[in-house]
Amino acid sequence: MSIIGVGIDVAEIDRFRASLERTPGLAQRVFLPQELLLPSGERRGIASLAARFAAKEAVAKALGAPGGLHWTDAEVYVEDSGQPRLRVTGTVAARAAELGVQNWHVSLSHDAGVASAVVVAEG
């Protein structure tokens, strides 16, 4: 296996919150319904959403930042173990296949008002 691409992104949590408040429908354009909710059915916290947004940006960077990728074609989810994972479909899956991506590695973090994500595309 070899590294095909690495992406990193950060999102200022308060700025991300303001964007969601200022732009009705933005959350639904960026996230799948299951990304917006905790397993309990409660709405996910803003820091967690900001980290997921950063991960989606990092995915695009790991794929060479091509145009035409759809936000909802990259889903960030967490396994029961707590490990974040990535599920890709549509435009993101097509670009990943074009590049030979077979595995994804995702790391999410949020602290001190900033959310961050690193994504590694492996082929």
Q: Which two tokens stand for residue 98?
A: 């074009």
111 is known to lie in a ligand binding site:
no
Residue ranges of E strands in 2-113: 3-12, 74-78, 84-88, 103-111
98 is known to lie in a ligand binding site:
no
Distance CA(110)–CA(118), nearest Å, equals 12
Tell me the binding residues for Mg(2+): 9, 57
Tell me the binding residues: 9, 57
